[in-house]
Amino acid sequence: MTTAQRTAPPTPLTLPATRAPGCPFDPAPGITDAARGEPVTRATLWDGTSCWLVTRHEDVRAVLGDPRFSADAQRPGFPFLTAGAREVVAGKPTFLRMDDPQHARLRRMLTADFMVKKVEAMRPEVQRLADDLLDRMTAGRTSADLVTDFALPLPSLVICLLLGVPYDDHDFFQERSRILLSLRSTPEEVRAAQDELLEYLTRLARAKRETPDDGIVSRLVARGELADGDIATMGRLLLIAGHETTANMTALSTLALLRNPAQLARLRAEPALVKGAVEELLRYLTIVHNGVPRLATEDVVVGDRTIRAGEGVLCMIGHANRDDAVFPGGDALDVARDARRHVAFGFGVHQCLGQPLARVELQIAVETLFRRLPDLRLAVPYEEIPFRGDMAIYGVHSLPVAW
């Protein structure tokens, strides 16, 4: 048979990529292998289109820091990971998927709310919420699901407070955001969840016109520059980005530390390491694991490749965060590493607006959890932990723990 003797073409990389069984903290090995030979490489998306994958730390920073790469998902050729993700931007885009100057105008309406000083002042409140949740979780019990009882409610409570969204509605918006972030949701499900959230937030904005408070939604209303629908769109971005991300980082960080007892012991012995340890966990775990998408608007040389105008790019920040040139031995978790140059929050003008808040929440969550529960351990065999390979934001669906 002559066909068998023909040199097989290299297996094409397809996305979303899967992780190796048994290595749930490591980014997809197929991409790692391809990147070793070719740091700027091609991949095929679910819809048969192809795009570039950028994997080196230096190249990821170059792309995300370059205005010739657009974040505007309505441009033809923009790479989407699923049909559902395409549906999300078919409606009204948030500033996450706009370019400057439109992006900067909207983002700057919020930068004061998330600046370091403002968020640092919230520490006592976040600490109180964390302690209350742990009081309730441990009262009369010796085991619980850390996701539902601690990791998810903590950032949800905080973002609700900040926005002026009633936390009592959390079942409603958590379910909608689960649908929006699931790689398995159909476009119809995504559209329905999107519409319901927008309707809810538009009603909320209208209500704040009548009874203002000092939450972000109310202040955006008072500013008078945006229609209620635009405020709802912004609110949806903040609500989803504000709780899913930190929630998953909290649970996954807990698991990663439990699986690396020497690192956990070191952190417990030296609590001053917590700030650096959170940066290291952000780097090591990189929960935005399917790549940060951009579209080239001009021909641009990246590494040794020319990316042509109109071609899509996915910046694989999880792989960049394991780049040996910047993080030697980066496949290991090292709570004492200086990981501040990680790109887990992205890079460039879209770099995470909520990062000061995420940092405070994570520092408090990790420190409080391991201080208050010195005997914290998994309540099920490690093999049974359901990882979120099926979600846009990585993490675990549940984390049964005992103490």
Partner 1 sequence: MRIQADQEKCCGAGSCVLAAPDVFDQREEDGIVVVLDPEPPAALHDAVREAAAICPAAAITVAD
Residues that bind partner 1 (CB under 8 A): 64-65, 104, 107-108, 111-118, 340-341, 345-353, 355-356, 359
**Contact 154/369 with Cβ under 8 angstroms?**
no
The option from partner 1, ligand HEM, none interacting with 400 (CB < 5 to 8 A, set by class) reads none
Tell the smallest beta-carbon distance from residue 97 to ligand HEM (Å).
Answer: 8
Give the integer Cα–Cα distance in Å for 244 and 242.
Answer: 6
Nearer to ligand HEM, 55 or 246 (CB): 246
Beta strand 300-302 with 312-315 is: unpaired
The two tokens of residue 332 are 């290991």
Chain residue whose CB lies nearest ligand HEM:
354
Scanning 54-122, the segments in alpha helix (DSSP H) are 57-64, 83-90, 102-107, 116-120
Tell the smallest beta-carbon distance from residue 73 to partner 1 (Å).
Answer: 19
The option from ligand HEM, partner 1, none interacting with 95 (CB < 5 to 8 A, set by class) reads ligand HEM
Residue 13 gets the label, from left (phi > 0), alpha (psi -120 to 50) or beta, of: beta
The option from ligand HEM, partner 1, none interacting with 339 (CB < 5 to 8 A, set by class) reads none
Nearer to ligand HEM, 202 or 246 (CB): 246
Nearer to partner 1, 108 or 308 (CB): 108
The option from partner 1, ligand HEM, none interacting with 344 (CB < 5 to 8 A, set by class) reads ligand HEM
Tell the smallest beta-carbon distance from residue 249 to ligand HEM (Å).
Answer: 4
Tell the smallest beta-carbon distance from residue 161 to ligand HEM (Å).
Answer: 12
Give the integer Cα–Cα distance in Å for 307 and 300.
Answer: 5
Nearest partner of 163 among 268, 89, 235, judged by Cα: 235
Nearer to ligand HEM, 57 or 107 (CB): 107
Tell the smallest beta-carbon distance from residue 398 to partner 1 (Å).
Answer: 31
Binding site for ligand HEM (CB under 6 A): 71, 95-96, 107, 159, 237-238, 241-242, 245-246, 249, 287-288, 292, 344-346, 350, 352-354, 357-358
Tell the smallest beta-carbon distance from residue 294 to ligand HEM (Å).
Answer: 8
Per DSSP, the residues of 167-223 read: GGGHHHHHHHHHHHHBTT--HHHHHHHHHHHHHHHHHHHHHHHHS--SSHHHHHHHH
Give the integer Cα–Cα distance in Å for 394 and 318.
Answer: 11
Tell the smallest beta-carbon distance from residue 289 to partner 1 (Å).
Answer: 20
Task: List phi, psi (to 5°) of 306.
Answer: -105, 120
Nearer to partner 1, 207 or 274 (CB): 274
**Contact 54/40 with Cβ under 8 angstroms?**
yes
For residue 63, the SS3 value is helix
The option from ligand HEM, partner 1, none interacting with 241 (CB < 5 to 8 A, set by class) reads ligand HEM
